Structure 1
Amino acid sequence: MKRDVFFKRIQRKLFIFIISTVLIAVSRHFSPSTWIDGEPNYLSWLPLSVIISVLLLWGRTAAIPLTIATVAVYLWLFSAESPWLTLLFIGCVLVPVIAVCGALRRWAGRRWRYDIMGRNGTILICALGFAAPCLIKALMYLTGMFVSFSDELSPYFGMTSYLFNVIDVQSLIISALVFSPPIYYSLRILLSPAFRRAMWLVRIKPYFSPASRTKTVVWLSALFFLMWMFCSPVSSELFSAYMLPLLFFIFTVGIRSPGATFIAILWAISAFALIQCNKNFVHSINYGPVLAFTLSIFIAFTVCLYYMIRIYNRGARLQRVWHNHALTDPMTWLPNLRALDAHMKTHPGGILCCIRLNNLEFLGRHYGFLMRAHCKSLLDQTLSVHLRPNERVFQFIGCEVLLYLHEGNHEKRLRQMVSILNARRVPWKEQQLTIEHMAAWGRIMPGPGELNRLLGQLSYLAEQTNALEPVIGLDTQPESVMSARSGQVELFQKIKQALDNGQLLLVGQPIVGRSGERYDEILSRLMVDGRIMMPDTFLPIITQCDLSVHFDMLVMAKLLNYLSSPVVRGEKRRFSVNLMPVTLMQNGAAQRIVRLFTESQVDASRIVIEVTEEQAFSTAEHTARNIQLLRQAGFMIAIDDFGTGYSNYERLKRLDADIIKIDGCFIRNITSSTEDVIIVQSICALAKYRGLDVVAEFVETAAQRELLFNLGVDYLQGYLVGKPELLA
C-alpha cells in the first residue's frame, strides 16, 4: 500500500515537472518585449505567471519539480553563461515566490490557494501580485551589487537606466497580476473534466442562453472592434493610449454580461494583445515614459477589475443564499411552493402528489409546533433514499407535504412509499409516535393557474382517503376505485371527468318584459353517467375544488359556439350569464372573456353579465377592475339577488350597473305581504331614477305579474313566464 502511494507521488511530481518544463519554455518564447534605452526588456515575463499558476494549482507538492524544471530550461537557454550565474538568476526568481507562498499558507491555512477570485483574492493580489515581484526585483538588485553578470543578464540586476528598472518591475507585476489567473484556469480546465464542465455550465453557458445571448454578443462585438482598432498595424491618432479608458469601460460593463471569471480571462488575452502591439497605439516621441505610464494604467485597472469581480462574486453569492432562503421553509427546511413552481418549469411533465399526515394536527396540539416540523423533516429523510434524480419533497400547508415524481409507474411507487411511512414510528422526546399517511396524486397540466387548482384538488382528495384506499389518483377512472371512495370523492371525479370531456349543457330561461321583449338567462347542466346533473349538486364541488374559473370559461365558450352557429348567427337574441365570485377575483379574467368574444366575432352588447351584490360593491382591486373592463367592452352588468346582501340605499345611489334583479324572497309572498310590496316599490322607484332596469325573479302566478308590473318592475323571470329550455 505504501509502495503504491509512493509511486503515485513520483508520477504526480514527474507530471508537474513535464508540464512546468513545457510551459516555462513556451511562455518565455511568447513573452512580449521591447527596447528601452538601447537594451531589450520584457513587457511581461510570462514564466513568472507559469510559476505562480503551478504553485496555486499543486501547492507545495510542485516546489521541487517546478524548481528542477526552471533550472533545466534556463541552463539550456543560457548555455553560454556560467551555470552558477544562471542558478543565481533562477534563485532570485524562485526563492521570493516560494517564500511568499509559504507565508500565505502559514497565515491563511491550507486553503490559501483556493477561490483566487473570491475570499482570498485580496491577499493573493497583494502577496503574489505585488510583494513577490517587488521582492524578486529587490533581490536581483542586491545580487547585482556584489556579483558581475554578462551583458545579457546585467540589465535585469539593476545595471542600467532608471526607466529600464521601472518597466522591468512593471513587467513582473503584470506577469503575476494579469496573466497568472488565465494560465491557472487554463490548466484547471485542461486537467479537470469536472472543472471544465462546471466552468462551461456555470461561468459561460448562462451568458449565451436565449435571454442573455443578444447582450453578450453585443458586448463581445464591441470588445473585438476596439481590440482590432488598438492592435491594427494602421497608425491612427484617433486610437492612441488616451483612448484606453474606453476599453476599460467595456470591461467594467462586461463583469455582468459574460461573467466575472470569464471576464478575467478575456482581460488577460486583451492585455497580452495590447502589450504585444503597444507600438500601434503608443505614438509619442517619448516612447519609454509613455509606455511606463501605460503599463501603470494596466496595473491599476487590473486591480480595480479584480476588486469589482470580488464584489460581484460576493453579491452573487449572497443573492444565491437569499434566493435559497426564499425557496425554503424556515421551520422544516424543505423547499416551499416557490421552489415547486421553479422546479416544475425546469422539469415539466411530472406527477404531483399530496401526502397528508392524518393525525398530525391532533398530535401537534399536544406536542407543539416543532413536532410537526420534525415529522415533515423526518418524512423527507425517509423518502430521500427512494427518490430518483430531480424528484423532491416540498413543504405544503398544514398537515400536508408535496412530492414531485417522474411519470411512469408512479402510482405503484407512491403506494410503496406510503406503506413505508405508515410502517415506521416517529421518535419525539423519548416517545414513539404513530403517524397515519394518506396520499393523492395528479398530473401537472401546463397553463396559468393550473398549479393552484391542482393543489386544491389534491388537498381535498387526500383528506377524503381512508385506510382501505390510502392512495387516490386524480386521473383514475371512478369505476376502478368506487368501492373504496366516499361519495364526495366519487362525485368530484365524475364532475371533473364531465368537464374535461365537454359534457356541459346550456339551458335558457326567458326573462320577459311588459311589452313582450325578452332575453334568456343561461343556466348550466352536466351530463354524468347518461343523466343530467343539476347545479345545486355540482356547483358546490366546483367551488370547493377551485374549478370556478375553468367552469365559467367553458360556459362562455359553449355559449359562443351556439351564437356562432349558422342557425342563430342572424338572430339578435340576448343572453344573461352568471359569473361565479372566484372568477372575477382572478387577475385577467375579464381580458380572457373579451378575447373569446373578439375571436368569435360576437357582439358583447348581446350579453348581460350577472354578478352578486358582494362583487358589485367590492373594493377588491381585481374584482372592481374586471367589472370595469367588461362594461368598457360593451357587456351589460346585472346585480343578481339584489336586496339580500350588502345593498342599501346609499350604495344603490352609486351603483355602476345596468340591471338589478330583485331576489325571489321578496317576490314569493308579495301578494300577501305589505312589507315586500313597500321594499319592491322603493327599489323600483330609485332604480328608475338611476335609469336601471328591474327584473323580478321567481314569478309563478298571474297575480304576482300584475302587481309587479304596477310597482314598476320591467322584466319578469319564473315558471309563469317560461321554464328553462335546452339550447339547440
Structure 2
Amino acid sequence: MDIFFKKIQRQLFIFIISTVLIAVSRHFSPSTWLDDEPNYLSWLPLSVIISVLLLWGRTAAIPLTIATVAVYLWLFPAESPWLTLLFIGCVLAPVIAVCGALRRWAGRRWRYDIMGRNGTILICALGFAAPCLIKALMYLTGMFVSFPDELSPYFGMASYLFNVIDVQSLVISSLVFSPPVYYALRILLSPAFRRAMWLVRIKPYFSPASRTKTVVWLSALFFLMWMFCSPVSSELFSAYMLPLLFFIFTVGIRSPGATFIAILWAISAFALIQCNKNFVHSINYGPVLAFTLSIFIAFTVCLYYMIRIYNRGARLQRVWHNHALTDPMTWLPNLRALDAHMKTHPGGILCCIRLNNLEFLGRHYGFLMRAHCKSLLDQTLSVHLRPNERVFQFIGCEVLLYLHEGNHEKRLRQMVSILNARRVPWKEQQLTIEHMAAWGRIMPGPGELNRLLGQLSYLAEQTNALEPVIGLDTQPESVMSVTSGQVELFQKIKQALDNGQLLLVGQPIVGRSGERYDEILSRLMVDGRIMMPDTFLPIITQCDLSVYFDMLVMAKLLNYLSSPVARGEKRRFSVNLMPVTLMQNGAAQRIVRLFAESQVDASRIVIEVTEEQAFSTAEHTARNIQLLRQAGFMIAIDDFGTGYSNYERLKRLDADIIKIDGCFIRNITSSTEDVIIVQSICALAKYRGLDVVAEFVETAAQRELLFNLGVDYLQGYLVGKPELLA
C-alpha cells in the first residue's frame, strides 16, 4: 500500500507541475500576426511537455495527458471537447511515440546526459522528428475534420508562409527551449542538482581567475541584447547583425561554460523572438521573419554540437589529467598527484616507506615484481588508512604515505609491522620484503616538498631492523642508540638551522693599498660547540638543504647589514652560493627581494660562484647569475683554474672578480710553473678589467710575489683570520 500511495502521490505532483507550467507557458508564448491570423513564433507548452517526459519518463505520460486536457478544456470552454481532445492527441501522441522509440533504441538511460552522448539522437528525434510528426498529424486531421476558424490555420488551412512559421515555432520550442526548461525543473526540484549546478557549472566561472572574462562576456551580451530588443529603431542593429550575437555565444562556450551558455541562449532567443519587430525591419516582414527563425534553428544545432565537442574535450582532458597523475606500472598516484593532494589537504605527515631488499629481489625476478610489491603494499595499507590518506608512488624501492597528524608515529609503526609480518606471493613463491620508514611534517613554502622528499629518502636508507621507523622531527637523543652517526649528525644540523644557531664570520680580503672587503664564512653552534663547514656542508648538500641554508645565510647577513653599526661602516662582503641554489628557478628573484625589503644596497655584496656555474649553459643558472648582476651584485668566480676554466672561456667570462685557487698559491715561491700560470691569468684579467684575488696566502714572500705578478687582493691567514660578525 505504501508503494501504491507513493506512486499516486508522485503522479499527482507531476499533474500539478504540468498543469501550472503548461498554462503559464502558453500565456507567455511569443506570437505575431500573419495574413490577419495570430501565429505562434514558439509554442512553449511543447517545451514543457518534452521537459516533463525527459525528467520523469513514461511515469509522466498519464498525468501529463490529463494536465494538458484540463488546461485546454479550461482555456477553450466554448469549443467542442472532442475537437480539443483531438488537438491534444495530435500534439501528445507523436511526442510520446518518439520518446518510446528513443527508449527502445537507446535503452533505459535515453533521458540522461541530454547535452552529452545522447545529444545527437535527442536533437534529431525530439528537436525535429517530433515537431514534424505533430504538424503532419495535424494537417492530416485537418483534411478530414472541420475545425473552427481560430484553430483551422494550425491544421493546414492557411498560407504557405503561415505553415512554415508554424512548423518553425514547434521546432524552436522543442529545440531551443526544452533544455533550459528541463534544467530549470531539476534546479527547482533537486537541491543536490541545484548545488552541483552552482558549484560545477556556474561558480568556477566567477572565481578570481575567470571572473574578469565572464563579466566582460556578459557585459557584451547584455549590450547586444539591449540594442536588438530596444524599442528605438536602429538600422545598425538589424537582423543582418545577428551573426555578431552568434559570435559572442560561440566565444562564451569557453568562458561562462557550456551548460550555462545553453540556458543563456534560450533566454536570449526568447527575448529576440518576443521583440522581433525591433530588429526585423523589412517590407516583406513574413519572409524575413521565417528566415530569421531558420537562422535561430541552425545556430542552435551548431551551438549544441559545439557544446558537445567542448564537453567531450573537457572530459578527455580530465582523463588525460588523471592519467598524468598515475604511475603506469603500479597504478599508484605519482608525485604530481601528491603535490595536488597537499594543496587540497595542507599540513599532515609525509612518510617514506622503503622496501629494503626490493632492489636485490627485483634484479632476480624482474621489474614487474617491483610494481607488484608496491601495488600489494597499497592494498594492504588501504584498510588501515583514514579518509584522504593515500599511498603514492616514489622512485626506486620506496613509496610515500600521506597521514593526518595525530598519533601518526604509532600508526606508522603498526603499519610497518603489518607489512614486515606478511609474505608477498610472486609466481608460486612467498617473498619476504623488509620495510623501513621515515616520516616528517609537511611545511608550506616553495621547494619544501622536494627538500622533504630528499631528507625522508635519506633517513629511510639509514634505518635498521631494530628501529624500522624514524622521525625527521624526533629529538636526536631519542634515536641516538639506533641510528648511524651520520643520521644523528644530520638531525643535529637540521635542528641547529631551524633554531637559528647559524653563525657568520668574516675573513678579510685585502688589496695592495689596504682596501678590503670580507668573505662570509659560516659556522654552526651544535651542542654548545662550533661545527666547521667541512663537517656540515656535505650533509647539507646531500640532504637537499642547500637553498634553505643559502637563504638563511643571506637573511642573517642582511640582519647584520641593517644594524646601525654596519650601516655606518659601509663594509662590503662576499657570499658563496651553492650550485643547487643557482639551479633553482626564481632563486635570484628571492635574493633581490630580500635585499629590497631590507633596504640594503646590492653593490655592497659580491656573489661567489663556482667555475661550473659561471660557465654553465643551464637555463636557470645562467639566468640567475645574469639577474643578480643586473640587480647590482658583483660576481666573483671562486677556485679559478681548477675545473672548467681555460683561456678561451676567460675571454668571454661575464664576471667582476676571479679568485685563483690555493693550489697555485701554496708553492708559488718555489714553483716556476705556478708563477707563469698566475702571471698569465693576471695579464688576461687586467685586459678584461677583472680584479684578481689570490687565496691561501700565508707568508710575506707569497704576498710580495703575488702583488708583483699583478694580483689585486690577497686572502689567507697572513692578512687576517676569520672573525665573528658583531
For the aligned pair, the TM-score class normalised by the smaller chain equals: over 0.9
Offset of residue 78 of structure 1: 3.5
Q: CA deviation at 1:93?
A: 1.3
Identity across matched positions, percent: 98
After TM superposition, give the deviation of residue 603 of structure 1 in Å. 3.5
1:216 Cα deviation (Å)? 1.5
* Cα distance per residue 1:281-328 (max 9 Å; x no partner): 334444333322222222122112112111211221122222222222
Secondary structure at 1:393 match in 2: strand
Shift in alpha-carbon separation, 1:506–1:243, aligned structure 2, 3 A? same
For residues 156 and 676 of structure 1, do their structure 2 counterparts lie closer, same or farther at Cα, with a shift above 3 Å needed? same
Structure 2 counterpart of 1:28 = 26
1:10 CA drift (Å): 4.2
Say whether residues 1:342 and 2:326 are aligned partners.
Answer: no
| TM-aligned CA deviation for residue 711 of structure 1 | 4.1
Residue number among 92, 116, 119 corresponding to 1:94 in the alignment: 92
- Give distance in 2, aligned partners of 1:693 and 1:459: 43
Residue 649 in structure 1 maps to residue 647 in structure 2: yes
Range 552-561 or range 416-425, more displaced: 416-425
Moved more, 266-275 or 387-396: 387-396
- In the TM superposition, 1:94-173 aligns within 5 A as 94-173=92-171
Judged with a 3 Å threshold, the aligned counterparts in structure 2 of structure 1 residues 295 and 674 are, in CA distance, closer, same or farther, namely: closer
TM-score by length of 1: 0.93
Q: Report the CA distance between 1:253 and its aligned residue.
A: 2.0
Distance 1:71 1:549, change over 3 A: same
What is the distance in 2 between the residues matched to 1:222 and 1:651? 59
C-alpha displacement at 1:351, in angstroms? Answer: 2.8
Bigger shift: 198-207 or 640-649?
640-649
CA distance in 2, matches of 1:479, 1:497: 12
Counterparts in 2 of 1:184 and 1:711: CA distance versus 1, 3 Å:
same
Q: Distance in 2 between matches of 1:8 and 1:418?
A: 54
What is the CA–CA distance in structure 1 between the aligned matches of 2:62 and 2:108, rounded to whole Å?
18
The offset of 1:712, in angstroms, is: 4.0
Structure-2 change in CA distance of 1:233 and 1:711 (3 Å): closer
Task: Figure out how many residues of one structure are paired with residues of the other and give that number.
Answer: 725
2:686 & 2:153 partners in 1: Cα distance? Answer: 107
SS of the aligned residue for 1:233 comes to coil
Compute the displacement of 1:96 (Å).
1.3
Residues 557/124 of structure 1: CA separation in 2 closer, same or farther (3 Å cut): same
Paired position in structure 2 for 1:483: 481
1:215-238 deviation per Cα after TM superposition (whole angstroms, max 9, x unaligned): 222222332333333334444444
Q: Structure 1's 648 and 220: CA in aligned 2 closer, same or farther, altered over 3 A?
A: closer
Structure 1 Cα separation of the partners of residues 50 and 499 of structure 2? 71
Measured on the aligned residues, the alpha-carbon RMSD in Å equals 2.4
| Structure 1 pair 349–287 and aligned structure 2 pair: CA distance change class (3 A) | same
- How far the C-alpha of 1:205 sits from its partner, in A, is 0.8
Q: After the TM superposition, which of the residue ranges 372-381 and 575-584 deviates more from structure 2? A: 372-381
Task: Kindly provide the CA deviation profile for residues 516-568 of structure 1, in whole angstroms up to 9, marking residues without a partner as x.
Answer: 43332221101112111110111011111111122122222222222332223
Q: Are the structure 2 counterparts of residues 45 and 583 from structure 1 closer, same or farther at C-alpha, using a change threshold of 3 Å?
A: same
* Residue equivalent to 2:596: 598
Deviates more, 1:206-215 or 1:647-656: 647-656
Quick check: 1:67 aligned with 2:58? no
Gaps of 5+ in 1: none
Q: Secondary structure at the match of 1:302?
A: helix
Q: Structure 1 residues 542 and 73 mapped into 2: Cα distance closer, same or farther (>3 Å)? A: same
Q: Structure 1 residues 515 and 210, CA, compared in 2 at 3 Å: closer, same or farther? A: closer
Post-superposition offset of 1:619: 2.0
> Per-residue displacement from partner, 1:121-141 (whole Å, max 9, x unpaired)?
122111111111011101111
1:177 Cα deviation after fit: 0.6
CA change 1:85–1:597 in 2 (3 A) is closer
1: CA distance between counterparts of 2:134 and 2:702? Answer: 110
CA, structure 1 residues 417+194, in 2 after alignment: closer, same or farther (shift >3 Å)?
Answer: farther
Q: Cα gap change, 1:104/1:652 in structure 2, threshold over 3 Å: closer, same or farther?
A: same
TM-fit CA distance, 1:678: 4.0
Per-residue deviation, residues 157-185 of structure 1 (Å, max 9, x unmatched):
11222222112111111111111111111
CA distance in 1, matches of 2:600, 2:184: 66
Give secondary structure in 2 for the equivalent of 1:112: helix
Q: In 2, distance between residues paired with 1:204 and 1:590? A: 40
Aligned to 2:564, what secondary structure does the other structure show? coil
Distance 1:43 1:706, change over 3 A: closer
Residues 386 and 79 of structure 1, relative CA distance in 2, 3 Å threshold: farther
Which deviates more, 70-79 or 160-169? 70-79
The correspondence of residues 642-681 of structure 1 with structure 2, limited to 5 A, is 642-681=640-679
Residue 458 of structure 1 deviates from its aligned partner by: 1.8
Deviation digits for residues 78-130 of structure 1, max 9, x if unmatched? 43333332222222112211222222222223322221111221221111111
Deviates more, 1:201-210 or 1:396-405: 396-405
Choose 349-358 or 307-316, whichever is displaced more.
349-358
Kindly tell me: are residues 103 and 613 of structure 1, through their superposed partners in 2, closer, same or farther at Cα, counting changes over 3 Å? same
Distance 1:25 1:653 in 2: 89
In structure 1, distance between residues paired with 2:35 and 2:181: 31
In 2, the alpha carbon distance for the partners of 1:679 and 1:239 equals 83
Per-residue CA distance 1:233-271 (angstroms, 9 max, x = gap): 444444443333332222222211211111111111222
The offset of 1:9, in angstroms, is 4.1
Cα distance change on mapping 1:697 and 1:63 into 2, 3 Å: same
The farther-off stretch of 671-680 and 354-363 is 671-680
Q: Residues 425 and 230 from structure 1, CA distance in 2 versus in 1: closer, same or farther, beyond 3 angstroms?
A: same
The range that moved more, 311-320 or 708-717, is 708-717
1:29 deviates by: 2.7
Structure 1 residue 505, shift from structure 2 partner? 0.9
Worse-matched range after superposition: 265-274 or 435-444? 435-444
Q: Which runs of 5+ in 2 are unaligned?
A: none
Question: For residues 670 and 238 of structure 2, what CA distance do their matches in structure 1 show?
Answer: 102
Deviation at 1:491, TM superposition (A): 1.5
CA 1:629–1:263: 2 relative to 1, 3 Å: closer
2:615 match: 617
Asked if 1:295 is matched to 2:299, the reply is: no
Does the C-alpha gap of structure 1 residues 279 and 682 become closer, same or farther in structure 2, counting only changes over 3 Å?
A: closer
Q: How big is each residue's C-alpha offset from its partner over 1:475-518, in whole Å with a ceiling of 9 and x where there is no partner?
A: 23323333333222222122112112221111122233344433
Distance 2:630 2:538 in 1: 31
Question: Per the alignment, do residues 401 and 289 of structure 1 end up closer, same or farther by CA in structure 2, a change over 3 Å counting?
Answer: same
- Quote how far apart the aligned CAs of 1:674 are: 4.2
Change in 2 beyond 3 A, CA 1:211/1:653? closer
1:577 equivalent in alignment to 2:575: yes
For residues 102 and 19 of structure 1, the distance between their equivalents in structure 2, rounded to whole angstroms, comes to 22
Q: Which has the larger displacement, 489-498 or 638-647?
A: 638-647
For 2:414 and 2:293, the matched residues in 1 are separated by 69
Q: How does 1:237-316 map onto structure 2 within 5 Å?
A: 237-316=235-314
Residue by residue over 1:669-724, the C-alpha shift from the partner in whole angstroms, topping out at 9 and shown as x without a partner, is 34444444444444344444444433332233344444444444443322233222
| Whole-angstrom distance in 2 between the partners of 1:712 and 1:226 | 78
**1:654–1:174 distance in 2 versus 1, CA, 3 Å:** closer
For the residues of structure 2 that align with 1:435 and 1:445, how far apart are their CA atoms? 31
The verdict on how the C-alpha distance between 1:721 and 1:225 changes in structure 2, with shifts beyond 3 A counting, is: closer
**Cα 1:136–1:483, aligned 2, differ >3 Å: closer, same or farther?**
same
Name whichever of 317-326 and 349-358 sits farther off.
349-358
Q: Distance in 2 between matches of 1:509 and 1:80?
A: 110
SS of alignment partner, residue 466 of structure 2: coil
The whole-number CA distance in structure 2 between the counterparts of 1:291 and 1:659 is 81
* C-alpha distance 443-660 of structure 1, shift in aligned 2 (>3 A): same
- Report the CA distance between 1:75 and its aligned residue: 3.5
The more displaced of 293-302 and 80-89 is: 80-89
SS at match of 1:509: strand
> Which stretch of the first structure deviates more once superposed, 498-507 or 482-491?
482-491
Residue 270 to residue 637, structure 1, CA distance change in 2 (3 Å): closer
**Could you say which residue in structure 1 is the equivalent of 2:559?**
561
1:386-408 Cα offsets, whole Å, 9 max, x none, are 33333333222112222233333
Question: Who is 1:526 aligned against?
Answer: 524
Structure 2 CA distance for partners of 1:167 and 1:497, relative to 1, 3 Å: same
Provide the residue aligned with 1:506 in structure 2. Answer: 504
Cα-to-partner distance string for 1:633-660 (whole Å, 9 max, x where unaligned): 3333322222322233333333333333
Mean CA deviation greater in 154-163 or 654-663? 654-663
Matching residue of 1:15: 13
Deviation at 1:207, TM superposition (A): 0.7
Q: Residues of 1 paired with 2:67 and 2:424: CA distance?
A: 63
